[in-house]
Structures are given as structure tokens and as C-alpha cells.
Structure 1
Amino acid sequence: MDYEEADFDQFLVQVYPKPEVFNRISKIALRSDFQERPNVLMFGLDSMSRLSWQRKMPRTYKYLQEVLGSVIFEGYNIVGDATTAALIPMLTGKSEVELPEVRKHFVESEYVDSYPLVWNNFASKGYATLYSEDEPSIGVFNLRLNGFLRPPTDHYMRPFWQALWESPVHRDSPRYCTGNVPNHVYLLNYTKEFFVKYANVSKFAFTFGSELTHWDNNPGEYIDADFVEMFEYLHKGGFLDNTFVMVFADHGARYSRVRKTIQGKMEERLPMMSIAMPKQIRENYPLLWRNLQRNADKLVTPFDIHETLINILNLSRKSKVHSFKTIPRGISLLDEVPANRTCSMAHIDMHWCTCLKQLELDVTDTHVQKSVNAFVDFLDRQTRPVRHLCEELRFKSLLHAVLLIPNEKVLMFQKSIDDDNRHGNFSSHINVDHAHFQITIATSPNKGLFETTVQVNMTSGAYTVLESAVSRLDRYGNQPACVQDKYPDLRKYCYCWRLHKTLTVGGKPSSTGEMPVKRWP
């Protein structure tokens, strides 16, 4: 449709029940089984820590606790950088590197359809499924990845958001609105209507909102009252009587001034995660309910959420007990998570682990200087193959340096000395073959802020920077515009040449520009 010739006053979207969905379900199970299987409603917001949720969305936070009885997980820890590193483990039980190649600029790259997404498990068990997400330009599976060849769920909202975003009505509307309708209302209503239209069958819904909170947490307060209204409607209508409700975030704020503080650093790594178990399941499976409550202050990850979802499909299975030696990467939160679980056991890289002590270091420390050099070399290698597009970044200043130290009990733990794994045998001998230095540097000419953890092999003297342990702390806007489509993985490293023309004369650095300084000055 030619939007320039159309005259829209308002966009409309609805969930239209599909006969093929009911036909598929009828072949899997008898209608009498529908209500025995619990529904799942997952609703996430981008970049919201648990504490940020309390600050910006207090009404929702209170409703989750006091009305729905949600368990809020204070030790929920991310396992990687940005949204995909949070949601891929949650939805597949695997990390991105363990799955088929689906990145945009790789030869023979596949579509995300090849991923073992958990909503397929639910569909195979007789569930109607929904995936809705706003902000199509930064979609979870579309920013860096190839997206889907076919709709991934029975109801998929992306086509609607693409049409809305491209329309002159949206472009001419106040921020966060299309016409007189706040954009988040479409997301909430679509999710709500899915539960209404499929009232008599089991349902799995995954909804994710980015627009309000991705760049700045403060606008999150705009959705607070409407969020509560949606839950009140579903709760009073009985739609949540047999529904697990998971309200969560992918990570905390990754930008803004607060991220440059220790508080901001911790909050990025500790996003919101809550689970409400319906009353009838609490009564029918009291052990599962007790386990869920006990795990509220344990170290848990997105891998555990995936195991929890799989567990929901088989609530009657025997609860698993994990000893210190058999703690898997993912543990259902309906089982009890061991209290002695460490970041290493949970497959959380040192850079993202919040269970650490930090020792402040002086800039003259030899390890710090070598770590900076290793990191600047790493930044150069990322964009060297596209140097015709991206300018070489130059070291400007060191802002912060710490030595990351695991808790002494973790370092000294040898084994459990009782059958119940309640008492540990600790040795006074600590053998550390690797050290980890976390540094924050400023770069030019992009005015960038980077944080990384450098691993040092104390035997060989090698300094290693892993891409999974690099955070870009400033908002880089259109700096990587020249690689956005073809090389989206380079967005946080690329500063396009055309943006720096004012500092060059005849293609070479001018006398007032900064010359490349790769090594520690």
C-alpha cells in the first residue's frame, strides 16, 4: 500500500483465532485435557534491572508481589552482552555459538527458524502460541540475525509493527505514540486479546517491549498503570487461574550516566525476573512451590528459565536434586538450586559475574597497562577488515581498573564432606593460574566508552580479550551507519569515516587531529 496516498487516523490490530490452530490441537489431545495444562505468559521489557523496575514501575512491582504472589529472583544474573545473549538461552537452552549460524553477513547463514525455540515444544503439546515484539528496527532476531523465513508462532506481531513504523502517521506523531494511541497499548492489548480469543485452549505467549526502555529507563513509567490494568483484566477474568506469569527483562541499563557507576555496572548484570505460580498448581504441587520460593535469592540465569519452561510441560516429573559435583548449566527453578552454585558452574563468564570482589588498581600497574594494550589491539582487529568503512579507534584515557577476585570460599573449596552437601572442606592453599582485570577506557575520535575483562594467563603471560566480555557504555547512535546492514556485529566498534571528515585534510589526519596511539602512552 502507498502510505503517501492513504489517509490513516489510527492503526488497528487484533488476534483472529485460526481454524488450523484448533485443528492441530484437536489432533494432539482431547479437549478435556486443555485446561489441565498450565498456560505461560512471558512479558519482558528491555534494559530494566530489578531495582530500576522498582523505581520506575512501582505499581506493577507491587501488583506482582501482592496480588499475583510472584517470586522475584534477586540473584538473576545475565550470561552475555545485550538482548540476544539473554533471550536466546532463555528460549533455546543454548548460547548463540552453540546454535546454527544465523548472522546476517555470514556465508551460508540460515534463518532463525533453525533454532530449537521453546514455543515449538509447547505447540507440539497442544498449545496456541504467540510472539509479539515492538520496535522492528532492533528486533531480537532481526537486528544482527536473519530473522524468520516463516512466522515462528501461531500469532506473530512483527508485520503490524513494520507497517506502523513505516507509516507517516507514526512519523508525525509524538514520541512513543502513533496518532493518539501510546504504542505500548498495542502490545498490551494484543497479548490480552490472545488470552481471550483462545480461552478454551492452552496458551504460550512471549511478549517483549523495547521502545520505552531500551535507550533510557525513565520512560518505563509510562507503561506502569497500563501494565497493571492488563494484569487486572486477565486476573479478574480468570485467565490467570491456570497461568504461569513471568515478568522479566533481558538486562539492566547498558547506557546513560548511571551505567558508568558501580551501581549501574551491577544493575546491568542483574535484570528483573519474576515468576507467579497459579494457586491451583501451588496446591497440587506444594514441593514445586517451595522450591520456587527457596530459589528467590539463589544465583540463577536465563538457562534456568528455559529448564523451568520445559519443566512446566511435565509438572508431575520427579523433582531433581543436584549435588555439588553434578550441578548442570541449566536448572529448573521448580527444583531447588544449590546454594553453593558459582558463576563458573552456571556458565557465567567472569566479566558478567556479580559474585565477585573488586580490588581497585592504579593506572601504573603493569598488568593494567598490558591489559589496556591488549584491548586496544583487540578493538583494532575488529574493524581492520573493513578499514575502508571504519576508522581506527585510538586510546584516549583509562577511566577505571579493577582486579576481579572470586570469594575466598570459592577459591578454597575442595569438596563437600557430608552426604547432604551442607558442609564444605576448605583448603588454605589457593592456586590461581589465571587473573582477570576489568578495565574501562575512553577512545577517540568516536568519544567511545568501553568496558572489558582481560584474562591473564599467569604462566604464559598471555593477555586475552573475548568478544563476549566487551561492553559499549555510551550511546553510539549513527556512528556505525555504514556497517549497520551488512556487518551488524561491528556496530559497537565502528566509527564511520564520513563522520570524521572535519578532522581530516586530504584523507590524512590534520595537524589538529589526534594521531593513532595504539600502545600505552
Structure 2
Amino acid sequence: MKNLKINLTALYESGYSLNSVSCCYRAIERVHQSPDHYNEYADLQIIFSQTCKPMDVVTNLEDEFIRVICTSKYYPWSGDVVYRSFHAVPLPNRSSRTIEKLFYWKKHLSDIKHKNSQNVEKSHSVRLENNSTTSNSVPVNSGNDPSHKLSSQQNVVEKDSGSQNTKLPKVPPNVVLLGIDSMSRLSFQRNMKKTRQYLQEIGAVEMLGYTKVGENTFPNAVAFISGYQVQDLTKICFFSQNTRQDLCPFLWKKFSEANYLTALIEDVPLLATYNYFKTGFVEQPTDYYFRPYMLGVHYHSPSVLFSLDCIGSNTVDETIHKYIGDLLSMSARNETPVFIYTWLTNLAHGDLNAARHADESYLQFLKSLDLSNTILFFMSDHGYRYGMIRETFPGWQEDKLPNMWVHIPKNIQKQFPTWLPSIEKNSVRLTSPLDLYKTLVHILNTFTTIKNVPDSKSFQGDVIPRKLGQTLFEEVPLTRKCPEAGISENFCACVAPRRLPTNNSNIIAAAKTAIVHINEQLPKVCAKLTLHKVTAGGIMDDTEHSINGSSIVTYVVAFETTPGEFLFEATVESDAKLQSYSVVGELLRMNKITTDVSCVKNDFLEKFCFCLAT
């Protein structure tokens, strides 16, 4: 149970007293649907409790998400709203499962304490026996029998880790993924200098070669949370955008199985990773799920469709920072590990330079955290994908190289002395979200009883192997190529294109090939696109190769179409022998979607479709 207190100082300074106002709160709750009978709104519906529960100066909360309202009691302001805001409190006893986890770790620690106590008694009795033995007797413990040695660290347990016994903490480390959408490595360097400097000061390592594997958030998230690419996930559990994702092999399930508390926190409900043009989850996916809270906030801000800057006197990011801090504090008080997956979209998604205004708040947030038993991944999914910067060659490269930092606590560095050196070597090597997945699995294998994560089966019963990715706690090969890291050619930033004139015949042919490719996929409700102009083009010199005696050359072209003035980037291969061109990988949209796309309820088609009038 958690207390919520009325700020008496603020109340009095506003000209009110406890006797002149009346405060109450309504709980925000998720509407439950059956996994067997659900609709596309299953993860979108919430309700506010009918009863507004009265509040005192100090109120014991029984609900994790609430909306508080205080009104004036007396004429002539009777009924006027004095205060109105939302509050989120991570309650330890919010469900039977969280209670089970807390009890598990309480018993686990009690067992260790009892075992240590027995070892102390055994050692004491051995010393007494030794002291009573005559000088010419054989000692009971010569120092060669480890069964009689008392550990100098009674707050650790031993676990076999390969060729040696590694002493592990009584409670596994917390794992925190803190993601800021659309933040390239260089954008983070430009806009969040204080936060970056602090990460350096605490010994976090910047992953300079960390490269995205998909165009937007979802494919990159799928890679690091499931170990699969989207095309594999569609064979396992994500059969269509209407399919609930409850059955997908997302790694928070394994952390939960290892009795971690789990949390999924996002700031923009309508753009959320697992909900944008998707059903999302029918059942609550993690112990702590922030979505109902943010839906409640948005439902009371109907004029703001997607992004919301503030909740009361705090920014949305600050509100979430507080929730994360409270969650970590609650788990620490209960000596229970927590897995927190946070994704913040609003800050940098719509403005290349907006993050600079949050630099100080992120700095203070990180400073407020006790990271002594927390492995932190401070990260992004990709760089800025739209606007003028994206039309430049530096912007082409930034888009592919998201921000990524790894922080390993000093006590874990001591326990596993090869981890940090491996991270430092890998910081200048090619890595991807698939490697992050294997790193998270490595953490599970090391600190919990989870020995492995089995590959999933397709709906036809075939095993879909996780072929790509490796843990970042082991050295990545220096000669690694993009395909080996699960990075397709159109996302590979290892080689930059050499600029060609926009009227080059191969560049124009590549653009026309890409437009044919787009039009072949458009439904009848969308207008056919035509080439308006080529805005940039280049050749990938280092990728030229031969197939069956024919020279294959790769071009990158940016072009604008009509109607709609859509701006695209395409990677196109040219076969000199066949005199043919073919699109490689995804076509990327380079300017924001500003036209009506309601005729296609599909996140893939929306970037290509100019809806015809009906």
C-alpha cells in the first residue's frame, strides 16, 4: 500500500484550507476481454471507477492509476475545480502474481540466511573441536577441504558458470531498457550533452556500431525483445495486425518466469510499439503496464491526438521517470529484481532538436537512480527518419545508427571481469538489436535458473531458429558483415554511397523501378504514383559483385512522387548482363505522412498510399 499526501503548503498558498476543499479520486482500470473473444479495441479500452473515493491529508491507495480532483466547498466558488491531476503508483501487491514473486524472494533470502547460519555453526563447532585436539593429533581441517571453509561474503550464493564457481548476488540485478524513439547517436551527442557526459562518468559504454534492422520502432523492438525478425514473428504468432500478441515469445515472459517483476512503459498510446495499427495485448502483458494510465490522460485531453507534453506540472517524460524511480525503489525495499522496458516516443519523434529541452531532466533522473545493482541499456531504435536532414547523406547514415549505451554495475564487473572489456571492444564493432536480445538472455542464464530460451514453433509446427545475434558480453568478430548481424543491405551503414548526378541514367532507372514496385502493392483505393523528380542518388562502390558472370551494382536513390509529394529512398540492384533493376529490401518514406490515409488501415501501406476521393 502506498500513501498519497495533500501538499498543505501549496493548498494554503493558493488561498484554501482543508476545510474549504473536498478531494477524491477515481481509479483507472483496464477493460478485460476474453482471449477467445476479443476485438481490435482490446488494448485500448479503460474505465474510470464510478465512485470517487474521498481523500484525507494522507490517503492509503489501493489503486495504481488514479485521477484526483479537488473542488471548492463554499459559495461563491462552490464546485469550482481547485486541483485536477493524474497519479501513478507501482503497488507491490497489485496482483496475486506480484505477491507470489515478493514471497519467492523473501523465502529465497530466508533460506540463504538459514544456510549461512548453519555454516557458521558448523564452522564454530569445527574450531572448538580443533582447539580441544592435542598438538600431535591430525587437524580436522587442514585448509585443503573446501567444505569447512566459511565464505567471507555471506550475502552471496554460488552458481556454476562454465569452468568456475562464480559468486552471485542474493538477488539478481535489475535490467532496465530506457529507450528514446528516433534518437541517433549523433543527435544524442548534439542535443543531450549533459546526459551523455553523465553516462560517461558512470562508466557506461557507447556502442558506436549499433545499427537498426528495420525501418521503424516495431521491427527493431521485435528483434531485441524476441530474437526474431518480423518476417519470422509472422510465422509464429503475429499473423496479421489484428492478431493479439499475447502468445509471442517476448523476453519479459522469461524474466517473469525467473520471478522478476516486469514492467512495460510507453508514453504515447496511439503510437505505442505493439499497438500502432495493431491489436496489441488482450491480457495485461507485464506485472506493471503503464498503458491504461496514459490512455486515461489522453481521454481527458481529447484535443491532443498523439503527443502530450505535460501531465499537471510535470512533463510526460518526468512523470514516467518518477514512476520508474518508484518502481525501482519498491523492488529494492522488497529485495526483488525488476525488468523495466520503457519506450518514450514524444520527445524526439516529431522534432529533430526537441530533446535538448529535456537534457537536464534526464540528467537529474539518471542521477537519482541507484544503479549499483542495475544493468542499464540507454538506447533508441533508429535516427530521425523525416525532414531535411534525412535528405542529406549524413542524415542517411544517422537514420541507421541509433543511440545505444550499456552500463554494467561495478560489483558485476568484478564478478565477471570479461564483460566490460568485451563491451568496450564491441563498442567499435558492428552490432544490432538481435545482439541485445542475446545479451538479455545471457543475463537470464547467468543470474537465474533459466538455462536457455527455446526456439519457437510456427503455426505449422516447424521450429523457427534464432540464427542471428550474439551476446555483447563476448567479443564480436572484427570482420563481421551486415548480413551476419541481421542487417539488410538498405540499412547497412558500413559503406556510404558515392554521390552521382540526379540525371544519371542508372539513378533515374532505379527510381522508376522503385515506383513500379510501389504501385504493384497498392490497392484500388490508392492513386498510382508517378515520378516527379529525383532528389539524390549514389552508387555503393564496395558492394559490386558478380552472379553467373554478370556484374551486380547497387544504387541508392531518393525521389519524390506525385500525387502527394511523397519522398522515398530505395536501394536498387542493377544486373548489367540482363539490363534489369530490382528493389532490395524495404522502400523508406523520408517525409512525414500528412495526407489522409484512412482508406488503408495498415502501417505498411500508409506510407505509399494517396487515398482517392470516394
TM-score, scaled relative to structure 1: 0.81
Match status 1:15 vs 2:90: yes
8 A contact 2:550–2:577 mirrored in 1: no
Query: Quick check: 270-279 or 6-15, which moved more?
Result: 6-15
Deviation at 1:375, TM superposition (A): 0.8
Query: Quick check: 301-310 or 217-226, which moved more?
Result: 217-226
1: distance between equivalents of 2:467 and 2:570? Answer: 27
SS in 2 for 1:373: helix
1: distance between equivalents of 2:353 and 2:256? Answer: 36
For this pair of structures, how many residues does the alignment match? 458
2: distance between equivalents of 1:374 and 1:258? Answer: 25
Deviation at 1:179, TM superposition (A): 3.6
Consecutive unaligned residues in structure 2, runs of 5 or more: 1-46, 53-68, 70-80, 113-156, 158-168, 449-465
2: distance between equivalents of 1:228 and 1:94? Answer: 33
Q: Give the letter aligned to residue 86 of structure 2.
A: F
8 A contact 1:104–1:487 mirrored in 2: no
Match status 1:89 vs 2:218: no
8 A contact 2:511–2:570 mirrored in 1: no
Match status 1:472 vs 2:608: no
Question: Which of 97, 104, 108 is the aligned partner of 1:30?
Answer: 108
Question: Which of 414, 422, 428 is the aligned partner of 1:291?
Answer: 422
8 A contact 2:375–2:407 mirrored in 1: yes
2: distance between equivalents of 1:203 and 1:105? Answer: 31
Q: Give the letter aligned to residue 539 of structure 2.
A: L
Question: Which of 101, 111, 123 is the aligned partner of 2:256?
Answer: 123
Describe the shift of the 1:124–1:175 C-alpha distance in structure 2 as closer, same or farther (beyond 3 A): closer
Query: Quick check: 117-126 or 89-98, which moved more?
Result: 117-126
Q: Give the letter aligned to residue 229 of structure 2.
A: S
1: distance between equivalents of 2:278 and 2:582? Answer: 27
Q: Give the letter aligned to residue 82 of structure 1.
A: N
Which residue matches 2:339? 204
**Deviation readout 1:189-223 (Å, 9 max, x if unpaired):** 11111101111111110111001111113221232
Describe the shift of the 1:69–1:459 C-alpha distance in structure 2 as closer, same or farther (beyond 3 A): same
Describe the shift of the 1:478–1:157 C-alpha distance in structure 2 as closer, same or farther (beyond 3 A): farther
2: distance between equivalents of 1:494 and 1:143? Answer: 17
Which residue matches 2:608? 493
2: distance between equivalents of 1:87 and 1:174? Answer: 20
Describe the shift of the 1:446–1:169 C-alpha distance in structure 2 as closer, same or farther (beyond 3 A): closer
Which residue matches 1:367? 506
Question: Which of 394, 409, 413 is the aligned partner of 1:282?
Answer: 413
Which residue matches 1:241? 372
Match status 1:217 vs 2:352: yes
SS in 1 for 2:347: coil
Match status 1:399 vs 2:535: yes
**Deviation readout 1:432-478 (Å, 9 max, x if unpaired):** 75322111101112111100101334454443225x42111111134
Which residue matches 2:288? 155
SS in 2 for 1:314: helix
2: distance between equivalents of 1:175 and 1:79? Answer: 29
8 A contact 1:355–1:406 mirrored in 2: no
TM-score, scaled relative to structure 2: 0.69
Match status 1:311 vs 2:442: yes
Match status 1:39 vs 2:174: yes
2: distance between equivalents of 1:74 and 1:430? Answer: 37
1: distance between equivalents of 2:276 and 2:250? Answer: 18
Deviation at 1:243, TM superposition (A): 0.9
Describe the shift of the 1:170–1:232 C-alpha distance in structure 2 as closer, same or farther (beyond 3 A): farther
2: distance between equivalents of 1:111 and 1:233? Answer: 37
Match status 1:187 vs 2:320: yes
1: distance between equivalents of 2:209 and 2:382? Answer: 13
Which residue matches 1:323? none
Q: Percent identity?
A: 27
Which residue matches 1:347? 486
2: distance between equivalents of 1:288 and 1:407? Answer: 34
SS in 2 for 1:313: helix
**Deviation readout 1:161-180 (Å, 9 max, x if unpaired):** 11111214875999612343
Describe the shift of the 1:380–1:290 C-alpha distance in structure 2 as closer, same or farther (beyond 3 A): same
Q: Give the letter aligned to residue 273 of structure 2.
A: V
SS in 2 for 1:382: coil
Deviation at 1:345, TM superposition (A): 1.7
Query: Quick check: 301-310 or 365-374, which moved more?
Result: 365-374
- What does 1:358-507 align with in structure 2 at a 5 Å threshold? 358-383=497-522, 385=523, 387-388=524-525, 390-406=526-542, 434-466=552-584, 468-483=585-600, 486-498=601-613
Larger radius of gyration: 2
8 A contact 2:434–2:486 mirrored in 1: no
Q: Give the letter aligned to residue 255 of structure 2.
A: F
2: distance between equivalents of 1:308 and 1:172? Answer: 36
